[in-house]
Amino acid sequence: MVHVAYEVVDVFTTVRFGGNPLAVIPDARGLDDTLMQQIAAEFGFSETSFVLPPADPQNTARVRIFTPTTEVPFAGHPNVGTAFMLAQRDAIFGQTVGEQMRFEELAGLVDVTVLRSDGTVTGAAIIAPRALELGQEVAVDLVVACASLTREDIALTRHPPRIVSVGLPFVVAELASRTALARARADLNRFTEANAIVPLPDDGFSLFLYTPTSGDPQRFSARMFSPLDNVLEDPATGSASAALAAYYVTLMPQQDADIALIVEQGVDMGRPSQIRLRVRKVGGVVQQVIVSGDCVPVMHGELSL
């Protein structure tokens, strides 16, 4: 029997049992794809990350990310949580841990900055690995059916529902009110139908709903549903928030901007989260999206394999 260490951290929160839980396998050497998928399913979190030596020794590590059903090329909270956990160590695969890290992932290279307060590691900031990719528009009727809402609940002034991505695609839709956001409920049958009409790679049809906070256009409340991936609702979705931030700033009239945004998620499911974003736009094109957040350690142990 082999014993494999794991750690669990809550990401995008300063409070234990808030935010989005993440399981991290800090040394996944010897684990094959099937076993990684089984471990992710056993934890049952929205994602589990597996850390391996980098292909290029100039990088910090290779990070593979699995949902309960599949491997994904990129995700926000696994990167932030993995960096937070690794930053507690003196070395990673014989390499000294510094304030900067770089992870090799399927979506590309993810640059990381360790966040500290009074010398203590508090979280991490990551740069989305890809530029904003805009996919097709999605019918309002499809969105409202999946979320158990009405057409009046969808706000169309800024943009129609559509697929956006900075490494992992989501259908993003703005809602007309916080009340409508609280009312949203995922309908599994409608998600299955939607996935046949608008198939998304990796984890299937995933719906990210948001609404700007009253009086503060740079602060949003959001919810993310991905029931086809066995994630009925996600407490904090950094990759979707990053894609939304890039799209939102793209739609702004300014040609050049450096905008700070905040996404609050998980409130409706009792795991409040805060995702901090910074978007840099030059010449009308978003050049960089930074996703940052705090983390709290929760548990550690060993898997018996």
Distance between CA atoms of residues 209 and 184, nearest Å: 9
- Tell me the backbone φ, ψ of residue 253, rounded to 5 degrees: -70, -25
Pairing of strands 91-92, 3-11: unpaired
Percent of the chain clearing pLDDT 70 (strictly above): 100
* Segment 85-109, tens digit of pLDDT: 999 999 999 989 889 999 999 999 9
Q: What does the pLDDT average to over 64-71?
A: 96
pTM: 0.96
For residue 69, what pLDDT band results from cuts at 50, 70 and 90? Answer: very high
E-only strand ranges, the chain: 3-11, 20-25, 48-52, 61-66, 71-72, 91-92, 95-96, 100-105, 108-117, 120-127, 133-137, 162-165, 170-174, 207-213, 216-226, 231-234, 257-265, 273-282, 285-304
Does the active-site annotation cover 174?
no
Q: Which residue has the tokens 């794809």?
A: 33
Q: What does the pLDDT average to over 189-206?
A: 89
Distance between CA atoms of residues 18 and 120, nearest Å: 20
* Segment 150-197, tens digit of pLDDT: 999 999 999 999 999 999 999 999 999 999 999 999 999 999 999 999
Q: What does the pLDDT average to over 206-214?
A: 95
Q: What is the pLDDT of residue 201?
A: 77
Q: What is the mean pLDDT of the chain?
A: 96
For residue 7, what pLDDT band results from cuts at 50, 70 and 90? Answer: very high
Q: What does the pLDDT average to over 220-236?
A: 96
pLDDT at 110 over 90: yes
pLDDT at 264 over 80: yes
pLDDT at 203 over 90: no
For residue 134, what pLDDT band results from cuts at 50, 70 and 90? Answer: very high
Contact status, residue 232 vs residue 225, Cβ threshold 8 Å: yes
Q: What is the pLDDT of residue 10?
A: 98
One-letter identity of residue 189? N
End-to-end CA distance of the chain: 6
Residue 128 three-state SS: coil
Distance between CA atoms of residues 206 and 231, nearest Å: 9
Asked which of 196-200, 224-228, 282-286 is least confident by mean pLDDT, the reply is 196-200
Q: What angle do CA 40, 43, 48 make, to 5 degrees?
A: 45
The 8-class DSSP code of residue 222 comes to E
Q: What is the pLDDT of residue 204?
A: 85
Which domains, and CATH codes, for the chain?
3-128+294-304 (3.10.310.10), 133-290 (3.10.310.10)
- Tell me the backbone φ, ψ of residue 271, rounded to 5 degrees: -130, 70
pLDDT at 199 over 90: no
Distance between CA atoms of residues 93 and 229, nearest Å: 32
**Burial (CB count within 10 angstroms: exposed 0-12, middle 13-18, buried 19+), residue 298:** middle
Q: Which of 7, 47, 105, 233 is catalytic?
A: 47
For residue 219, what pLDDT band results from cuts at 50, 70 and 90? Answer: very high
Radius of gyration of the chain (CA): 19
Q: What is the pLDDT of residue 233?
A: 97
